[in-house]
């Protein structure tokens, strides 16, 4: 019997996992953020002012949507707790071990599923 899963909170509600799970954890591995994407060839064909506008609008829309996704995740965790679930928050050494596991096992297993340029851009973004 599985009583915990390392997943974004939205999955707990979306798949009704709270009917089976007793535990959730923070931080979660990932969340589905929001952004605008454009075909590179098309984007490069745009004048510089339109490229800049697309960058600005994309950042604004992405921030609004990502904030809403995080907010919804927090609401889901609150509902999970109300239903008797326990949320464990990793910190210190436990958080460092979690981050090391992500870097050593999870990310390498996913690398082949993502285009190199997209992966590089995502890694650069989160390092800022």
Predicted pLDDT of residue 48: 97
Task: Report the candidate in 7, 2, 3 with the shortest Cα–Cα distance to residue 76.
Answer: 7
Confirm if 90 and 27 have CB atoms less than 8 A apart. Answer: yes
- How far does Cα 111 stand from its chain's mean position? 16
Task: Band the pLDDT of 81: cuts 50, 70, 90.
Answer: very high
Report pLDDT digits (tens) over 12-33.
889 998 888 888 888 876 666 6
Cβ atoms of 62 and 125 within 8 Å: the answer is: no
Q: Which residues pair with 89 in a beta bridge?
A: 26
Choose among 36, 28, 43: nearest CA to 65. 36
Where in the chain are the domains?
Answer: 1-89, 90-128
Percent of the chain whose predicted confidence (pLDDT) is above 70: 91
Report residue 38: phi and psi, to 5°.
Answer: -140, 145
**Which helix (H) or strand (E) element contains residue 56?**
helix 48-82
The pTM for the full model equals 0.68
* Chain-centre distance for alpha carbon 118: 15
């Amino acid at each position: 019997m599985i009583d915990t899963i390392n997943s974004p909170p939205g999955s707990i509600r979306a798949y009704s996992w709270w009917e089976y799970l007793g535990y959730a954890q923070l931080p979660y591995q990932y969340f589905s953020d929001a952004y605008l994407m454009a075909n590179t060839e098309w984007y490069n064909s745009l004048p510089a002012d339109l490229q800049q506008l697309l960058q600005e609008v994309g950042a604004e829309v992405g921030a609004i949507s990502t904030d809403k996704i995080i907010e919804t995740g927090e609401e889901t965790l609150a509902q999970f707790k109300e239903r008797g679930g326990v949320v464990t928050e990793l910190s210190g050494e436990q958080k460092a071990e979690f981050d090391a596991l992500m870097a050593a096992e999870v990310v390498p297993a996913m690398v082949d599923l993502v285009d190199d340029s997209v992966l590089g851009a995502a890694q650069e973004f989160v390092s800022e």
